[in-house]
Structure 1
């Protein structure tokens, strides 16, 4: 089995991955942006996936326009389905690369990326390109996870969860990415040309604790550990076997069955005014 292509999204677009991404909304994944949204804004949503955040933006800027950007057409059917479900018409999907955006300078009021630049080998270059296509007075908005912050309970007997985190670090970094991206966003934004005084940094977290939340989160990761591009990369890079991935999946199932189970994942956020 060949090693994964450098710079490709390590999780791929398996159904289990899209299941996770389709849960995301502006409210639970980009709430730090709500204070600057106006109904006539033009927004570029980089790495939009199935488009649930994208179409949520579109519903919130009815006099504006929203473009979702993806590197592949793999999510277009899910994107179209979400557009139809929300009944918005001011949104479209385009294929492109954040490192070379096919838009003129000063095009958008907001250029947004959610859990994207942590997978890019040159995040400052991505932010620089996002800044280029942002209008003066507009915003570059980014939210990225920080894997060192992942926390769960109970910990006893769940070594497989730490093994999963370690596996993610190895696969992501072999691909040129940085899993602890959240803490680095200010530094990357400054490197991209933003003045420090123009950067507002915040943090927020997802938390899964109810039986339904635990079952959902563990269920999608059990499938990702068995069928997604992450699993294939883990094996092809020589980091372990499917048996190792199955042990991680079993630990997630055990955690999900714990009545006092709790899991939280922090993300860093930056709102950069151009």
Structure 2
């Protein structure tokens, strides 16, 4: 597993991840829960943004959350403690070299991680090794190629494409969502189900205007500003205009569309 996370490990990024998780929890996790006594591995937990919902949805499950970044794990521990959650333990670990015996866990959960890995099938095989026979895996990914917004300007599209370009240059896959089925299939999982989770925002959905467009999407694009300009992919003037135009999608006359994919399968 790599530690050169495209969005970096700043406090601002930690806040963005938590805001994103809170905003998307009803859409992503209304059907995410695990039975009492089950052992669950959360792979690539980051700052604990998804961990809160996992733990609350399954208060009687035993959750082990791992990440390669010690600063992220420290943030996650503090976040979980502040919420008074007690059914989670954390460990520093590489998804590609998990320090667990074969068939240790009843369930595996991984969210917004595969897109950042150069070998997603290898990661799935590693997770499959520690999953019990008949156990389940849940995988959630976005797909940056599914983004549409209004009003759409040349500069706004260019700014959005910066996000795709930077991730691609790091050998990541910003279009991971659409590939979940073939990846899970290649890794040998069974009973694969892929469920698109659509986010559509207009002014009637005020909580998503703020939580998704502003605090999740635009904040994510703004996080690759320096890489985009330094690489020469976009000029500072086009960047500023593009970000300004993206903000127009959060105004009363604007709309925004994005597609996530949630996959489940069994070993």
User: Fold match, TM over 0.5?
Assistant: yes
Structure 1: gaps spanning 5 or more residues? 1-5
Partner of 2:26: 27
Provide the C-alpha distance between the structure 1 equivalents of 2:3 and 2:47, rounded to a whole number of angstroms: 20
Q: CA deviation at 1:164?
A: 2.4
Select the residue among 70, 91, 103 that pairs with 1:73: 70
Task: Indicate if the aligned counterparts of 2:27 and 2:197 stay in contact, CA closer than 8 A.
Answer: no
Provide the C-alpha distance between the structure 1 equivalents of 2:75 and 2:85, rounded to a whole number of angstroms: 15
Q: Can you list the C-alpha shifts for 1:46-69, whole angstroms capped at 9, x where unaligned?
A: 221221321322233333211222
Q: Can you list the C-alpha shifts for 1:7-42, whole angstroms capped at 9, x where unaligned?
A: 7221112333222321315533334434xx212221
The Cα RMSD (Å) is: 2.4
In the alignment, structure 1 residue 148 sits paired with structure 2 residue 145 = yes
Instruction: Specify the SS of the correspondent of 1:135.
Output: strand
In the alignment, structure 1 residue 234 sits paired with structure 2 residue 228 = yes
Provide the C-alpha distance between the structure 1 equivalents of 2:235 and 2:115, rounded to a whole number of angstroms: 25
Task: Indicate if the aligned counterparts of 2:106 and 2:131 stay in contact, CA closer than 8 A.
Answer: yes
In the alignment, structure 1 residue 192 sits paired with structure 2 residue 187 = yes
- Pick closer, same or farther for the CA change 1:15–1:160 going to 2, 3 Å: farther
Matches within 5 A, 1:1-274: 8-23=4-19, 24=21, 26-34=25-33, 37-155=34-152, 158-195=153-190, 198-209=191-202, 210-216=205-211, 217-219=213-215, 224-226=220-222, 228=223, 230-256=224-250, 258-274=251-267
- Pick closer, same or farther for the CA change 1:77–1:100 going to 2, 3 Å: closer
Q: Can you list the C-alpha shifts for 1:133-187, whole angstroms capped at 9, x where unaligned?
A: 11111111101111121122232xx333311231122111111111111111111
Q: CA deviation at 1:250?
A: 1.4
Instruction: Specify the SS of the correspondent of 2:171.
Output: coil
- Give the ranges of 4+ consecutive aligned residues of structure 1 lying more than 6 Å apart after TM superposition: none
Shifted more, 16-25 versus 42-51: the winner is 16-25
- Pick closer, same or farther for the CA change 1:232–1:47 going to 2, 3 Å: farther
Provide the C-alpha distance between the structure 1 equivalents of 2:199 and 2:101, rounded to a whole number of angstroms: 35
Task: Using structure 1 for the length normalisation, give the TM-score.
Answer: 0.84
Q: How many equivalent residue pairs?
A: 260
Task: Indicate if the aligned counterparts of 2:214 and 2:247 stay in contact, CA closer than 8 A.
Answer: yes
Instruction: Specify the SS of the correspondent of 2:71.
Output: coil
Task: Indicate if the aligned counterparts of 1:164 and 1:248 stay in contact, CA closer than 8 A.
Answer: yes
- Pick closer, same or farther for the CA change 1:77–1:245 going to 2, 3 Å: farther
Task: Indicate if the aligned counterparts of 1:96 and 1:102 stay in contact, CA closer than 8 A.
Answer: yes
Task: Indicate if the aligned counterparts of 1:145 and 1:267 stay in contact, CA closer than 8 A.
Answer: yes
- Pick closer, same or farther for the CA change 1:61–1:234 going to 2, 3 Å: same
